Structure 1
């Protein structure tokens, strides 16, 4: 083999290595871009992160299992016994998840088991009312009943007009598995919703909150303007029979609530060694200690 041929072979090998290195860099960059953003992590092992498409069906299955039997609207319209309505609900939910604004809570100590989900839906004024937003057919008696009620509620308020905005973030659905409840996980998910609104530069958040607990959580995080309130005992079917005859204790109204997205909280000051807030050594303490040491030296 000639020296010239060997040189060309080495150059080719170096070029291949360089191309492979660039490809690896691009792959790593792509993974970073499309990897889920982690919003919060807690000491109990719960992590809140972006909902990725590979978990859409798992999320929908969890919502069908735990949300439908307990939600005020779903329970009173008996959607759990209406398979057609359930399928239509699941199809509409899948469509909402494609907005890629939703977040999930997972348990890192339990093999990243799904613990809860917050479904969020950015709504732009330029898209509002277009044909595509009404293209999905509503099927099943139970889901038709829910949709009729929700349409009646939503028509009462124009968020764009109310806040003079071009876009808002809608809290669409919150579901937490029973074994992860009573840990304030629902509130933490709702608060992450505000982080997402800030991240997307959306000035207003809103939602139709149909039970007292959600209404209270919404108020606590700043979604405190009640724009419309509807009493369940006023809603009846064509035969004038009450549909929401069992909304549950304390659940008297269905509210449209909204609020401006607050500025992010100021980060806590980083404690400097010797100057920790609420403890440690202060400058005054150091001066006293120095004066004491100087006095001891003089006595010696």
Structure 2
């Protein structure tokens, strides 16, 4: 192998190395740009981050397995027995997830989904527009559920009540059974407040279907702007719809509130004084004592 050939080969290797390094830099930048924002890490190994599309389908299964059977409204209407209603509801969930405001909780040890909070920014200029009008609810049960929810949400004009042009709606909070009882639900709802601040949205709102959600909402500074007792809601034949409420669940509340002020920043660390205390000798101490005695 000639010396000239070896030099050319070394130059080619060096060029390939430089190109690979440049590609790695570009890949890292893309990951930073399109990667999820991590909003919070909890002490017990849970990471709360932006919801990405890779989780959409697994979340539909989790919601069908845990959220729908436990939700007062869906449970009492036998929602899961109507396949058309479930399909239509899943389509609505996917549409809301694509809003890019929702968050997911991940167990960092085993990469398992611990919970989800579906959020959506609702602008006054878009409220009731094209999507709401053309998206038909396929399924009689889902239509009845939407009729009940719409009755409540339309009782109060949130934009007028809070003098705002946009609010962040809490659509759905689901924590999987192994991760309950650890305060994860509150952490996720609190993160929703952080997201509202990040998006410059002044008001948060949600339809709270049980007393636990209503309690969490009050902790965030939300107030009840309209409330209906489940025992007062009947179907078109006059039959009571909500019979199996669960302990403590008496009403469905439309709750909303302006964002609380952000927590004050932590005080700056105290600077250690550079001045060293001068040491006092024993002789000087004796002189000081004798002087005091006098």
Which of the five TM-score ranges fits, normalised by the shorter chain?
0.7 to 0.9
Match of 2:226 in 1: 228
1:249-260 alignment runs, 5 A limit: 249-260=247-258
1:21-100 alignment runs, 5 A limit: 21-100=21-100
Runs of 4+ in 1 over 6 A off after TM superposition: 3-17
* CA offsets 1:230-285 (integer angstroms, 9 cap, x no match): 111111011111101222222111111111112321232355587xxxxxxxx8xx
CA distance in 1, matches of 2:7, 2:166: 61
TM-score by length of 1: 0.85
1:81-230 alignment runs, 5 A limit: 81-109=81-109, 111-223=110-222, 225-230=223-228
Q: Structure 1 residues 296, 194: CA separation in 2 closer, same or farther (over 3 Å shift)?
A: farther
TM-score by length of 2: 0.87
Tell me the secondary structure at the aligned position of residue 48 of structure 2. strand
* CA offsets 1:128-168 (integer angstroms, 9 cap, x no match): 12112332221222212111101111111111111121111
* CA offsets 1:6-52 (integer angstroms, 9 cap, x no match): 99999988777666554433322111011111111122111111111
Q: Structure 1 residues 138, 296: CA separation in 2 closer, same or farther (over 3 Å shift)?
A: farther
CA distance in 1, matches of 2:71, 2:185: 14
CA distance in 2, matches of 1:12, 1:126: 59
Match of 1:278 in 2: none
Tell me the secondary structure at the aligned position of residue 227 of structure 1. strand
Match of 2:280 in 1: 294
Aligned positions, number: 286
Answer with 1 or 2: which has the greater Rg: 2
Is the CA contact (8 Å cut-off) linking 2:220 and 2:260 kept in structure 1?
no
* CA offsets 1:103-151 (integer angstroms, 9 cap, x no match): 1111112x11100110001111121121123322212222121111011
CA distance in 2, matches of 1:107, 1:296: 62
Please provide the CA RMSD for this pair: 2.8
CA positional deviation for 1:74: 0.5
CA distance in 2, matches of 1:76, 1:142: 10
CA distance in 1, matches of 2:253, 2:45: 33
Tell me the secondary structure at the aligned position of residue 280 of structure 2. helix
CA distance in 2, matches of 1:201, 1:191: 16
* CA offsets 1:54-111 (integer angstroms, 9 cap, x no match): 01111111111000110010011011222222222111111110101111111112x1
CA distance in 2, matches of 1:131, 1:213: 34
Q: Which stretch has the larger CA shift, 185-194 or 261-270? A: 261-270
CA distance in 2, matches of 1:130, 1:22: 46
Q: Structure 1 residues 20, 133: CA separation in 2 closer, same or farther (over 3 Å shift)?
A: farther
Match of 2:291 in 1: none
Match of 1:242 in 2: 240
CA distance in 1, matches of 2:253, 2:283: 74
